[in-house]
C-alpha cells in the first residue's frame, strides 16, 4: 500500500490551514464592505403608523452607524403583502429590508394564494420589538370600559363598527378574537393603517378599534381616544390604570404584537449577521431605548436563529387563531 511522503503530508496540512485562515480572515473584510450605497427599508403599511414610526427610528440609527442613507419606503396594500412581495423579489444583497409585523406569520393561513412563500422567500433577521395593542373607543361613544362596550354591543347586535387595517392584519385579527370570546358582533370598516383608524375614531367615523399602543398613547393621554383595555397579559406600564381585556370579563385573553426585519432568501449570511448585529446595537443605544420606552415598545434584537424559530412558532399559532376565528380564505 502506497503512502504520501512525510513532507507532502506536511505541505498538504499547511495548505489546508492556510486556506481556512484565509476564509476566516475574509469574512470580516466582506462584512466591512456592506453597505456601500443606500439601504431601503420597505414598510408594507401607510406612513404615520406604528411600523413606519419604528422604521424611521431604527433606520436613522443604522444610517449613522453605516454612514450610508437608509430610506424608508411605504408600500401599503393587501394587509402588508404588497410590500412583502416587493422584498421577496428584490436582489438578495441586503440593500432591501422588509420591516413588518406578525401579520407576516398570519398571511400564509389567511390567503388562498400569495405571490411569495413566507418561509422560503425570506430570511428572518431579527425581532425588533414586542408591543402591546389597546382596545380604544371614540370619545363620541358612550362607553368607558370593555364591559360597557360588550353590554352595548349585545344590546345592539351588528349596529356598532370598528376600524380595521385589512383582513388578517393583527389589529383586525385581535378584534375578531375579542368579538368571538365576548360573543358580540361589531362590523369592520377598512382603513389603510392605524394612523387613519385613529383619525376616524377621533372624528366619530368609527366607534371602536384595536390599535397599537405606540401610536395611540399620545391621543389617549390627551383625551382624544378612550382606552378600554390592553390586550397583553399584564397591564401596560404606560397606562397602569387601564385594565387588561382579561380583567374586563374575557378571562384568559392575551394577545401581543411584534415587529421584525426580513431580507430576501439567499442573502449572504455575513450580510444577514451584520444587519442583525448593527440593529441590535441600535436598539441598545440610550436615545433609541428612550424613544422606544415612550412608545411602550420592548426592544428585542434577537439573533437570526432565534427569530427564525420564533417566526416558525408564530406561523403555527396564527394558523390556529385563523381557524378558530372562522375567517374564510381570502383572495
pLDDT in tens, 63-115: 999 999 999 999 998 888 999 999 999 999 999 999 999 999 999 999 999 99
pLDDT in tens, 176-205: 889 999 999 999 999 988 999 999 999 999
Cα(315)–Cα(322) distance, integer angstroms: 11
Q: Work out the end-to-end distance of the chain between its first and last CA atoms, rounded to an integer number of angstroms.
A: 69
Domain 132-248: assigned CATH number:
3.40.190.10
Instruction: Give the β-pairing of 226-230 and 122-137.
Output: antiparallel
**Where do the structural domains in the chain lie, given as residue ranges?**
36-131+257-325, 132-248
Tell me the pLDDT band of 167, cut-offs 50, 70 and 90.
Answer: confident
In terms of phi and psi (left: phi > 0; alpha: psi -120 to 50; beta: otherwise), the region of 110 is alpha
Same fold: 36-131+257-325 with 132-248: yes
Q: At a CB cut-off of 8 Å and minimum separation 6, what does 254 contact?
A: 231, 232, 233, 244, 245, 246
Tell me the pLDDT band of 7, cut-offs 50, 70 and 90.
Answer: low
Cα(268)–Cα(277) distance, integer angstroms: 14
For position 168, what pLDDT does the model report?
Answer: 77
Placement of cell 396564527 in the chain: 318
Cα(322)–Cα(81) distance, integer angstroms: 17
Cα(247)–Cα(249) distance, integer angstroms: 6
Q: Is the pLDDT of residue 32 over 70?
A: no
Q: What is the mean pLDDT of the chain?
A: 90
Q: Is the pLDDT of residue 206 over 70?
A: yes
Cα(194)–Cα(260) distance, integer angstroms: 18
Q: Which CATH number fits domain 36-131+257-325: 3.40.50.2300, 3.40.190.150, 3.40.440.10, 3.40.190.10?
A: 3.40.190.150
For position 6, what pLDDT does the model report?
Answer: 55
Query: Who has greater pLDDT, 170 or 135?
Result: 135
Amino acid at each position: 500500500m502506497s503512502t504520501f511522503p512525510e513532507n507532502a503530508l506536511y505541505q498538504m496540512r499547511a495548505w489546508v490551514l492556510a486556506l481556512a485562515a484565509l476564509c476566516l480572515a475574509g469574512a470580516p473584510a466582506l462584512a466591512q464592505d456592506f453597505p456601500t450605497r443606500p439601504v431601503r427599508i420597505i414598510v408594507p403599511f401607510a406612513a404615520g403608523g406604528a411600523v413606519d414610526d419604528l422604521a424611521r427610528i431604527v433606520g436613522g440609527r443604522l444610517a449613522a452607524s453605516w454612514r450610508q442613507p437608509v430610506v424608508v419606503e411605504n408600500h401599503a396594500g393587501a394587509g402588508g403583502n404588497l410590500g412583502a412581495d416587493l422584498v421577496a423579489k428584490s436582489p438578495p444583497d441586503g440593500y432591501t429590508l422588509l420591516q413588518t409585523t406578525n401579520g407576516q406569520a398570519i398571511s400564509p393561513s389567511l390567503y388562498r394564494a400569495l405571490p411569495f412563500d413566507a418561509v422560503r422567500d425570506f430570511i428572518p433577521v431579527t425581532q425588533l420589538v414586542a408591543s402591546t395593542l389597546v382596545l380604544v373607543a371614540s370619545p363620541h361613544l358612550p362607553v368607558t370600559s370593555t364591559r360597557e362596550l360588550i353590554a352595548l354591543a349585545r344590546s345592539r347586535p351588528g349596529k356598532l363598527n370598528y376600524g380595521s387595517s385589512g383582513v388578517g392584519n393583527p389589529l383586525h385579527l385581535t378584534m375578531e378574537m375579542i368579538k368571538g370570546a365576548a360573543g358580540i358582533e361589531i362590523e369592520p370598516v377598512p382603513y389603510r393603517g392605524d394612523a387613519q383608524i385613529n383619525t376616524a375614531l377621533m372624528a366619530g367615523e368609527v366607534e371602536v378599534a384595536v390599535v397599537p399602543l405606540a401610536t395611540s398613547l399620545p391621543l389617549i393621554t390627551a383625551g382624544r381616544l378612550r382606552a378600554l383595555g390592553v390586550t397583553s397579559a399584564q397591564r401596560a406600564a404606560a397606562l397602569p390604570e387601564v385594565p387588561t381585556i382579561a380583567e374586563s370579563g374575557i378571562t384568559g385573553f392575551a394577545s401581543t404584537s411584534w415587529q421584525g426585519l426580513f431580507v430576501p432568501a439567499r442573502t449572504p449570511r455575513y450580510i444577514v449577521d451584520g444587519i442583525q448585529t448593527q440593529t441590535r446595537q441600535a436598539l441598545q443605544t440610550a436615545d433609541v431605548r428612550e424613544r422606544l420606552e415612550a412608545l411602550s415598545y420592548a426592544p428585542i434584537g434577537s439573533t437570526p436563529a432565534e427569530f427564525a424559530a420564533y417566526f416558525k412558532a408564530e406561523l403555527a399559532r396564527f394558523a390556529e387563531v385563523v381557524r378558530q376565528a372562522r375567517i374564510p380564505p381570502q383572495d
